[in-house]
Chains A and B, each alone.
Chain A
């Protein structure tokens, strides 16, 4: 199928790409742009390994057509690290809390945690669980993931760092 030009912002960078209209956003991220933090898991919107942030909301990129990304602002886990490659607080917290083992689910969980850690609202553990309920982890048993998100949120809040 004839490729189509789309323009979007990815991790702060305005980007143009020619995409096949049958291509998923997951393929655009991983294959075309080499943003391999976006993981290829189930391919049917069940596991959340491919989660990206689009215009402030989380989506499974495997069931999102690349052509829909035209004009959008996208964030992947690559966008969380500093330019020097240093980890952000939420990534460090996943390490400290033992919230990552094999790691395939981790980037998806990190993106799904953004609506929580960027908000100055208070969240119960149940609310955190609900926000990451579209992300599966086969290794950690979830508790450490919830801890990492909760601690990062609370720390940011104490320091007045939440944006919203």
Chain B
């Protein structure tokens, strides 16, 4: 038996928002692969929970009229990977979440839970950052829209008020159109392990495939929160593709990152990974986009 004080079971998003307003201290239970484990651990023992697990209206991925891809937050990792829209337009995201845990965890874990728990190692986070995801956050007072870039507030902290629920993750057409991405995860084990470092790159090339029109690079575990590296990104804009450019971009990533030493890896090793994974992911993304190095 889990040590749960109260568990509320809303039947709709509207009801869930009301319950979250009445019980702001209650934790939202989506897939449970973080919260239930922390209850077992004792860290969250005795918590009040609001189980939104069964709210089907918060699952699924769709294309909106203007070409925006809407990912509902309770979509499981495996459903993100298998989704035809993701496979066609943002395969790097499907690949990223396909490297989380093992199959059972990917079937229960949700993409919304992954970003709302705010950890820097969340495999979906660097790719969602790199595609400028936009979050829809709801409460009884209404809906607010927030760039994912502004959501992270610190390790394990996100900009979510006690009465709010994440209800949508959007990727605009301009973010994915004609854009090719690659996520690389470095971890000690290939399965059932969290990232020592994760790097997600996406690139848009000029029509003649010789110049980088736009580059976006997201990282996990390169700092206290998932992050982008604006210095390296802007350095690449409008530049001719070359081996040297890739080295320059990879070197420039080090200016913005701030990894730390943990039992998994030292700061120095992570700095090495920041640079090396950027090189590899950038090369792969350029190749996919039809460019040659």
Chain A contacts for B269, CB-based, 8 A: none
Minimal Cβ-Cβ distance residue in A for B101 = A134
Query: Count the A residues whose beta carbon is within 8 Å of the partner chain — how many?
Result: 31
Chain A contacts for B40, CB-based, 8 A: 43-44
In-complex Cβ contact of B191 among A58, A112, A134 (8 A): A134
Report Cα–Cα, A58/B102, bound state, in Å: 10
Closest 10 interchain pairs by CB?
A: A134-B102, A133-B191, A134-B104, A57-B107, A60-B104, A133-B102, A22-B2, A22-B4, A63-B36, A44-B37
Chain B contacts for A22, CB-based, 8 A: 1-4, 7
Chain A contacts for B1, CB-based, 8 A: 20, 22-24, 27
30 A-B residue pairings within 8 Å (CB atoms): A1-B4, A20-B1, A21-B9, A22-B2, A22-B3, A22-B7, A24-B1, A44-B40, A45-B37, A45-B101, A45-B104, A57-B78, A57-B107, A58-B104, A63-B32, A63-B108, A65-B2, A65-B29, A65-B32, A65-B36, A65-B51, A67-B7, A67-B9, A68-B51, A112-B103, A130-B191, A131-B103, A133-B102, A133-B192, A135-B102
Given contacts A23-B1, A135-B102, are A63 and B192 in contact (CB under 8 A)? Answer: no
Query: Count the B residues whose beta carbon is within 8 Å of the partner chain — how many?
Result: 27
CB distance from A116 to the nearest CB of B (A): 11
> Which residues does B use to contact A, with CB under 8 Å?
1-4, 7, 9, 29, 32-33, 36-37, 40-41, 51, 53-54, 78, 101-105, 107-108, 190-192
Chain B contacts for A135, CB-based, 8 A: 102
Minimal Cβ-Cβ distance residue in B for A71 = B54
CB distance from A84 to the nearest CB of B (A): 30
Chain B contacts for A65, CB-based, 8 A: 2, 29, 32, 36, 51, 53
- A16 at interface by CB-CB < 8 Å: no
> Which residues does A use to contact B, with CB under 8 Å?
1, 20-24, 27, 43-46, 48, 51, 57-60, 63-65, 67-68, 70, 112, 115, 130-135
In-complex Cβ contact of B51 among A48, A57, A60, A67 (8 A): A67
In-complex Cβ contact of A58 among B41, B103, B190 (8 A): B103
Report Cα–Cα, A82/B278, bound state, in Å: 53
CB distance from A1 to the nearest CB of B (A): 8
> Do B107 and A58 touch (CB < 8 A)?
yes
Given contacts A65-B32, A65-B51, are A134 and B4 in contact (CB under 8 A)? Answer: no
> Do A134 and B105 touch (CB < 8 A)?
yes
Report Cα–Cα, A39/B133, bound state, in Å: 40
Report Cα–Cα, A23/B39, bound state, in Å: 13
Report Cα–Cα, A1/B190, bound state, in Å: 41
CB distance from A158 to the nearest CB of B (A): 25
Chain B contacts for A21, CB-based, 8 A: 4, 7, 9
Report Cα–Cα, A82/B103, bound state, in Å: 27
> Do B54 and A68 touch (CB < 8 A)?
yes
